[in-house]
């Protein structure tokens, strides 16, 4: 574990034999005169679940929104599969292979489950592949198959979260951004969501997870970054951070 930006030696061990698909270099993002992300550098390798943890206002969601093209950084770089993408519009970021399930779900409540899923694939033209992916996500979330013609706004919070993730998967991402997927859910549904995130990774999708439930996030993640007031505070293998006294005290309610 290190408080510094990932060292070359650590990166070699962590990413050996894997493609580095996302790299943030000295990223600075502001809302007007308020700095939300300060000099953040981090990376994500193919096949990983990487989590960003930290308290409210730490800059986690801002980081995801910047990767997604919804915010423009003041300085620094976002590089996806070797291509600099800061400044690329959000809809074009989706086409490159980055899809996001946003904080608060943001589903289309007056549309059916089926229509929401269709919108997830709005940038795609590969009809046969879309149908296959649709079946795959409905296998991941059988409850959505049962409610396929139901108005999304009439479903429970857990079902709506499942739909938000499923909709993002219909964009056929190689990198899936998940922003607070457990927010407001009962513990049993939190378990279901996190088990499903592991299954999504098993299907070949790399996951960058923002989560206030640090314990659940660290239990499934390979690597973790801890943000504090917009800056990188700690980083390391998730299992190491799970057993770190300072992390336990600040984010896990003690050991």
Question: What does the pLDDT read at residue 5?
Answer: 45
Residue 7 pLDDT exceeds 50: no
Q: What are phi and psi of 114, to 5 degrees?
A: -60, -45
Distance separating alpha carbons of residues 156 and 187, to the nearest angstrom = 14
> Tens digit of pLDDT for each residue in 70-81?
999 999 999 999
Question: What does the pLDDT read at residue 189?
Answer: 86
Distance separating alpha carbons of residues 159 and 172, to the nearest angstrom = 21
* Fold of the 1-97+174-180+206-255 domain: Rossmann fold (3.40.50)
Residue 46 pLDDT exceeds 90: yes
Contact (CB, 8 A) for 106 and 165 = no
Only one residue has tokens 């799970």, namely 242
| Longest distance between any two alpha carbons in the chain, whole Å | 52
How far apart, in Å, are the Cα atoms of 214 and each of 171, 184, 194, 239? 27, 15, 12, 12
> Tens digit of pLDDT for each residue in 175-207?
999 999 988 888 888 888 899 999 999 999 999
Sign of dihedral through CA atoms 91, 79, 45, 195? negative
Long-range contacts of 67-72 (CB under 8 A, 24+ apart): 67/22, 67/24, 67/93, 67/98, 67/177, 67/208, 68/93, 68/98, 68/100, 68/177, 69/93, 71/29, 72/29
Residue 208 pLDDT exceeds 90: yes
> Tens digit of pLDDT for each residue in 106-116?
887 899 999 99
Contact (CB, 8 A) for 182 and 193 = yes
Q: Is the pTM of this model over 0.85?
A: yes
* Average pLDDT value for residue range 60-85: 95
Higher per-residue confidence, 9 vs 233 = 233
Domain residue limits, the chain: 1-97+174-180+206-255
């Amino acid at each position: 574990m290190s408080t510094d930006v990932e060292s070359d030696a650590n990166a070699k061990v962590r990413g050996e034999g894997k493609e580095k698909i996302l790299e943030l270099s000295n990223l600075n993002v502001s809302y007007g005169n308020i700095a939300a992300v300060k000099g953040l550098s981090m990376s994500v390798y193919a096949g990983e679940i990487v989590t960003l943890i930290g308290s409210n206002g730490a800059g986690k969601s801002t980081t995801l929104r910047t990767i997604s093209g919804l915010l423009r950084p003041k300085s620094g770089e976002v590089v996806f599969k070797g291509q600099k993408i800061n400044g690329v519009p959000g809809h074009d970021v989706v086409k490159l292979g980055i899809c996001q399930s946003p904080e608060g779900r943001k589903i289309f409540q007056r549309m059916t489950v089926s229509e929401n899923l269709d919108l997830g694939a709005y940038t795609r033209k590969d009809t046969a592949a879309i149908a296959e992916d649709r079946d795959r996500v409905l296998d991941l979330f059988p409850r959505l198959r049962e409610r396929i013609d139901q108005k999304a706004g009439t479903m429970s919070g857990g079902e709506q979260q499942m739909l938000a993730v499923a909709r993002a998967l219909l964009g056929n991402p190689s990198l899936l951004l998940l922003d607070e997927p457990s927010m407001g859910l009962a513990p049993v549904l939190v378990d279901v969501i996190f088990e499903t995130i592991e299954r999504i990774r098993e299907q070949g999708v790399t996951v960058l997870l923002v989560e206030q439930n640090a314990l659940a996030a660290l239990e499934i993640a390979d690597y973790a970054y801890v943000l504090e007031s917009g800056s990188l505070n700690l980083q390391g293998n998730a299992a190491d951070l799970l057993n770190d006294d300072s992390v336990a005290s600040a984010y896990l309610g003690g050991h």
